[in-house]
Every structure is written in C-alpha cells, then in structure tokens.
Amino acid sequence: MSQAQSLKLDAGAQPAGGVSKNAARRANRIKILRPILMIGGVAVVIIGSIIFWLSSGRYITITDTLVSAATLSVSTDVSGLVSSVEVKDNQHVTRGQVLLRLDTSQFQIAVAGAQANLNQVRLDVEASRQTYRQLLSAIAVQQSQVDNDNSDFRRYAALVSNGGVTKSSYDAAKFKLAGDQARLGELQDQAKVQLAKLAGNADIKAEDTPQFKAAAAQLAEAQRQLRHAVIRAPFSGVVTSVDTVQPGMFLQAGTAAFGLVSDQDVWIRSQPKETELTWVRPGDPVKISIDTYPGEKWNGTVASISPASGSTFAILPAQDSSGNWVKVVQRIPLRVDITGGPQDWAEKFPLRAGMSAEVTIDTGHKRHLSDLF
C-alpha cells in the first residue's frame, strides 16, 4: 500500500469516529432533557391551570339575556265609540300626549245631569231650612193655642160641677184642647223630619249635608268618566299595534286598544343558572353587549335577584315527591339596570324590548389556593 493510500484511509477513519462521538453526546443530552421536559411540561400545565383557576371565578358571563322595557296595554275604564285615533303605529309619544278619543256625548250628558242634581239638592236643602223655620213659627202659634185651650178647659172643669157652665161647653173645651194638642204634635213631628234632612243642624251649610256630598260624588264620577274618554300616554315611549283600533268601533271598558313600550324604563332581564349566582350580589358592576350593535358596550349594575326560580311560578311546577323527579339546574331571574352606554346611545343605538344581549358580571370574588383543599 502506498503512502498516499494510507493517508486517505486515515483521513476517512477520523470523520467516522467523530460522527459517532457527536451522536453519542446528542443521545446522552436527549436522555437527560427528555424527563426534564416531560416533568417541566406537566409542571407548566399544572401551574398554568392553577393560575387560570385563581384568576377565573370573578367574572360571570351570561348569554341567556334579553332587553326588557315597561310595557302597557293602553285601555280605559269607560266604554264608548272611538271618535279618533291621534297616533300612528310605531310613533314616539311623550307623557300626557293624547292617544285616543272616545265620543264624549254620553259623558257630557251625564255631567250635565249630575250638575243639575247637585243644584237641586242645594235648593232642597234651602227649602228644608225655610220649611223648618216656618214649622217653628207654626209650632209657637199652636203652642199658644194649646195653652189657651188648656186654660179654658181648667176653668170649665171648675165650673161644670156647680152648674156654672153646661156639660156640652165642658166637652167642647176638652175636645178642642185634645185636637190642638194633636195638631201641635203633628207640627213638631214635621219639624223633626225637616231638621233630620238638615243633619240635625238648622244652620248647616248645603255643602256639608249628606245629600249634597252624595250628589257631588255623582258629579265627580261623571266628570271622571268624561276625562277618561280621552286616553293619554302615562309615560313616554313608542305605541304599537295601533291599527287594531279604528274610529267608529265600540271600545269596551278594560279592553286593550294598543300597546305602549317605554323608552325610559329599560333594563336587562337575565336567566342565569343557579350555579352561576354563588358570588353575585345586588350592586355588582355589569358589562352589557347587545347582539344588534356588535362592538358597543353598556354599563349596568345588578339591581335585584329573584327570590324564586323561573319554574316556581310555572303552570306545572316541578314536583320532587312523585318518585321520578330528575334534578336539573334551575334558572333564577336577575335584573340589571343600565347606568350608561355609548355616546348618544338613546338615539344612535336604541334598545328595544326583546333584543338579545350578553352580560358579564364582576363579582369581585377572588379564589385562593386554600379553596382547593
């Protein structure tokens, strides 16, 4: 073998031995790092899970949420023909604005009749007062006549025994006295009747008598019905389903004419699971998202939490005494009051009853490691 070939063989042998040594060192490092990485990965997962668990539990997100508003079925407590409808469907109205008018003819007639009755009662009271005074005068005159008859009767009684007067004259005086006394009693009874009409006080004002108060109440009722023939909005909002009422139709008392939805008294109605309410308390701050307006946020507070689940007032509530009752997570109604929102949101982003929403409640609760044990 030549020297050149020997050199080539030596040169080829050295790289092969170096590669094997590097591979061995790499394998040793892998053997060392593998358990470290496996243990470290598990540790990172555990630590991350603990950190996530400690930081969670403060915020509760509820998706079963709707926008609610004060609603009213507009009606009145008097019956009548619809004279005119003053609003249109989905029109915004202010508090006190006229919505509907009924024909007021019958109510005006009732008011006129009640007013006439009140005036008549006033005249009757005055007439009773004058009659009572006349009866008092007649009683005084009749009393004088009875006193005179009594004097004559006593004188005749003293003379009839010795023949000073005849028996017929005595009898006439006796009967005259009895007749005048009866007449006096009749006048006194009539005076009592008139005094009773005056509530026992001859100087009473007409306005203080029971008859006047009863007539005044009838007039007030007739005037109330006249006022209620004009239906006004009790609060500001938007009217709906107005087309169901048309002029000329008869509107029965208590019948809903159309709807009114408030634009001021608006809140969020949520139905969280009972397990989500562990740390929720009234007054907790809330972030509100409305599906209709993505990206916009409203602020609110937990106003109240229902004392009973939604199924408690159901027509067929759950019964746990039947033997086949299945435990399910209950929903507890919760109300969130809106305290703020985007700029000019009432005009730019109006909230309508029934809109879907999502709320995130900040309970302020912090978890601790001791809670795990």
Mean model confidence pLDDT for the chain: 85
Per-residue CA distances from 343 to 264, 298, 299 (Å): 16, 10, 12
Report the pLDDT averaged over residues 189-211: 87
Identity of residue 184:
L
User: Which of 14-18, 153-157, 205-209, 238-242 is predicted most confidently?
Assistant: 238-242
Percentage of the residues of the chain whose pLDDT score is greater than 70: 88
List, by residue range, all CATH 2.40.30.170 domains of the chain: 59-70+264-314+327-372
Distance CA(295)–CA(287), nearest Å, equals 12
The CATH label, of 3.40.50.150, 3.40.50.620, 2.40.30.170, 3.20.190.10, for the domain at 59-70+264-314+327-372 is 2.40.30.170
Q: State the pLDDT at residue 8.
A: 45
List, by residue range, all CATH 1.10.287 domains of the chain: 104-228
Distance CA(269)–CA(286), nearest Å, equals 13
Give me the phi and psi of 199, to 5 degrees please: 60, 30
Q: State the pLDDT at residue 328.
A: 81
200 sits in the region (left: phi over 0; alpha: psi -120 to 50; else beta) called left
- pLDDT tops 80 at residue 190: yes
The mean-pLDDT minimum among 275-279, 298-302, 351-355 falls in: 275-279
Q: State the pLDDT at residue 37.
A: 74
Give me the phi and psi of 359, to 5 degrees please: -120, 145
Q: Tokens for 301, please give them.
A: 């507070």
Give me the phi and psi of 342, to 5 degrees please: -60, 160
Q: 88 pLDDT band (50/70/90 cuts)?
A: very high
Q: 9 pLDDT band (50/70/90 cuts)?
A: very low
Q: State the pLDDT at residue 56.
A: 65
Nearest to 235 by CA among 90, 74, 101: 74
Q: State the pLDDT at residue 372.
A: 59
Q: State the pLDDT at residue 292.
A: 94
Q: Tokens for 262, please give them.
A: 């408030």
* 95 contacts 288 by C-beta, under 8 angstroms: no
Distance CA(209)–CA(199), nearest Å, equals 6
Beta carbons within 10 angstroms of residue 220's beta carbon: 13
Of the two residues 8 and 74, the one the predictor is more confident about is 74
Per residue in 130-143, pLDDT (tens digit) is 888 898 899 999 89
Per residue in 229-282, pLDDT (tens digit) is 999 999 999 999 999 999 999 999 999 999 999 988 999 999 999 988 888 999
The architecture of the domain spanning 104-228 is Orthogonal Bundle (1.10)
- pLDDT tops 80 at residue 118: yes
Nearest to 288 by CA among 71, 69, 65, 68: 65
* 80 contacts 102 by C-beta, under 8 angstroms: yes
Q: Apex CA 121: angle with CA 117 and CA 126, to 5°?
A: 150
Report the pLDDT averaged over residues 100-117: 95
Q: 3 pLDDT band (50/70/90 cuts)?
A: very low
Distance CA(99)–CA(234), nearest Å, equals 10
Distance CA(81)–CA(76), nearest Å, equals 12
